Amino acid sequence: MNNLQRNPKIRWRREVDEVCLYIPKNREMKKLNNVGASVWELCDGSLDSKEIIEEVSKEFDVEANEIKSDVEDFINQLIQLDLLKEA
Amino acid sequence: MVEYTNSPEVVSWDVTSKCNLKCSHCYSSSSIENKDDEDLTEEDAYRLIDELSDIGVFQLILLGGEPLIRKDIFNIIDYAVKKNLDVGIATNGTIITKEIAKKLSKYNLNGIQVSIDSPQAHIHDEFRSVKGAFHKSIEGIKTLSSEGNRVIVCSVISKINCFEIENIVKIAIDNGAKEFRTIRYIPSGRGLKEFKENAINEHEANHVHGELLRLKEKYEGIIEIASDHSTDFLENEMTQEFCSAGTSTCAIKYNGNVTPCSYINNEKYVCGNVKEESFFDIWHRKTMRDFRDVRKYQGKCKGCNYIQSCKGGCRAAAIGIHEDGYLPDPYCTI
Ligand code: SF4
Ligand code: SF4
């Protein structure tokens, strides 16, 4: 499985309980909250999706199985939007 | 309290108060007679850009006056782009040459906004107080577009143009613009004087709203059509976020004063000055916090169901008319 990495063209920053993204290509701002924000932060190129799910499950104290498909869907959406890449 | 971001997403900066035109709706009362000795210096500008970049601001919009009058404007743009800010600029378009257009295109700016008030040259010129301004602006749009810049034609919606929007859109398309957007006539700066004569009424606002939806569909794929939320006060629109001043956007005046929005000029709402203190400190200052505090709202806003999204509508318009940011937007028909 490939490690996941944020598209370096996307500008972003952490707010208290969310991550704000700015997509220069279409001048769009997006907000990711809770799990989404953590997933985004974890996509620094050092982890693959299985490892990200494990990290998130520890952080939010839920079974990895319970969140697996949601997190995978979310990651796929971000890849489709060109916000994430498989390194 | 309403939610606000740790630092603004968009900052607009009036880089000068000098302008070669003298538009009757100008929020910053700019003119060629204005002195430029109070403008932020190039060094101030670099310091400011460093900070905005460091605190995670995404967009920097350069306004004026006429930004292209500043001799160091290309140094400023260059620096901001290198600092990863997504830069936009608003110009009246009258002093654009091929060389300027070419230089600007290098920076892949998020947009170069040029205002057109009417499809009729004499009406536009009258509004802008300079004969020939219309034709120069159109030439400017054409030249900018032909060099690959993303031009946004913008119209301040008022009685003079609210039934002529499609003709302005056609001019925008014919001259290569990529986007058309509207801004409401805001009673601020010189715009305050003729507000009553120029402001559209509820019936006209409804027309504009419907027209923009129709044009969006009709010209899809040809030109992007956007409108700012303040064009209307229609009930079904009211759950949308209305005013971003002081919550995700902020403004810096030519002299370094910081206010929640470029259209807000009243001294009472100057929250600090970037020549003397950090922008981040100002953003978190009590005056800025008070400005955001919807619990303090008065008049019909007090207890209004829409207060969290509407936040009293356009604060600049409320301040312009009532000199009080806790009173309702004068356009509110709710
Ligand atoms: S009363 Fe105030 S909060 Fe309510 S819709 Fe009008 S301006 Fe907005
Ligand atoms: S004060 Fe008015 S012009 Fe400024 S951001 Fe709010 S709605 Fe827009």
Model-level pTM?
0.91
Entry field: residues in chain A: 87
pLDDT mean across residues, chain B? 90
Higher pLDDT, B46 or B265: B46
Looking at residue B48, what is its pLDDT? 98
Q: Is B119 helix (H, G, I), strand (E, B) or coil?
A: coil
Phi/psi for B196 (5° steps) reads -60, -40
Residue B285 scores a pLDDT above 90: yes
DSSP letter (8 states) at residue A3: E
Q: Tell me what the mean pLDDT of segment A67-87 comes to.
A: 94
- Count of alpha carbons within 13 Å of B180, Cβ hemisphere only? 27
The residue in chain B having the minimum alpha-carbon distance to the alpha carbon of residue A13 is B56
Asked if residues A59 and A73 have their Cβ atoms less than 8 Å apart, the reply is no
Of residues A16, A24, A29, nearest to B110 (C-beta):
A24
Query: How far apart are the C-alpha atoms of B253 and B15, rounded to whole Å?
Result: 7
CB B223 within 8 A of CB B229: no
Is A59 a residue whose pLDDT tops 90? yes
pLDDT in tens, B244-258: 899 999 999 999 999
Would you say B162 and B200 are in contact if contact means Cβ atoms under 8 Å apart? yes
Residue A77 backbone dihedrals phi, psi, to 5 degrees: -60, -45
User: Is the distance from CB of B15 to CB of B252 less than 8 angstroms?
Assistant: no
- Tell me what pLDDT residue B121 has: 94
Instruction: Give Cβ neighbours of residue B334 (< 8 Å, ≥ 6 apart).
Output: B233, B235, B238, B300, B304, B306
Q: Which ligand gives the minimal distance to the CA of B2? A: 1
Residues with CB under 6 A from ligand 1: B 300-301, 304, 306-307, 310, 312-313, 328-329, 332, 334
Burial level of B305, CB count in 10 A (0-12/13-18/19+)? exposed
Question: For residue B206, what pLDDT band results from cuts at 50, 70 and 90?
Answer: confident
Beta strands in chain B (DSSP E): 10-14, 59-63, 86-91, 111-115, 151-157, 179-184, 224-227, 249-252, 257-259, 272-273
| Other CB atoms within 10 A of residue B290 CB | 14
The residue among A7, A12, A29, A30 with the most chain B CBs within 10 A of its CB, best to mutate, is: A29
* Range with the poorest average pLDDT among A58-62, B148-152, B278-282, B307-311: B307-311
| The listed CATH number (1.10.760.10, 2.60.40.1840, 1.10.10.1150, 3.50.50.60) that belongs to domain A4-86 | 1.10.10.1150
Confidence of residue A34 (pLDDT cuts 50, 70, 90): confident
Spell out the residues 6+ positions from residue B249 whose beta carbon is closer than 8 angstroms to its own. Answer: B8, B9, B10, B11, B12, B260, B261
Q: Compute the average pLDDT of residues B117-142.
A: 91
The token pair at B299 is 């008049």
Beta-bridged to residue B115, according to DSSP, are: B154
ipTM of the modeled complex: 0.82
Q: How confident is the model at residue B308 (pLDDT cuts 50, 70, 90)?
A: confident
Q: How far is the CA of A57 from the centre of ligand 1 (A)?
A: 43
Q: What is the pLDDT at residue B312?
A: 87
DSSP state, residue B235: G
- Domain regions of chain A by residue span: 4-86
First CA to last CA distance, chain A: 10
Nearest CA in chain B to A18: B5
- Find the mean pLDDT for residues B177-185: 93
Residue-level pLDDT at B229: 61
User: What burial class does residue A66 get, using C-beta atoms within 10 Å of its C-beta: 0-12 exposed, 13-18 middle, 19+ buried?
Assistant: exposed
Q: Chain A to chain B, count of Cβ pairs less than 8 Å apart?
A: 26
Chain A residues closer than 8 Å to B89 by CB: none
Write the DSSP string, A21-56.
EEETTTTEEEEEEHHHHHHHHH-EEEEEHHHHHHHH
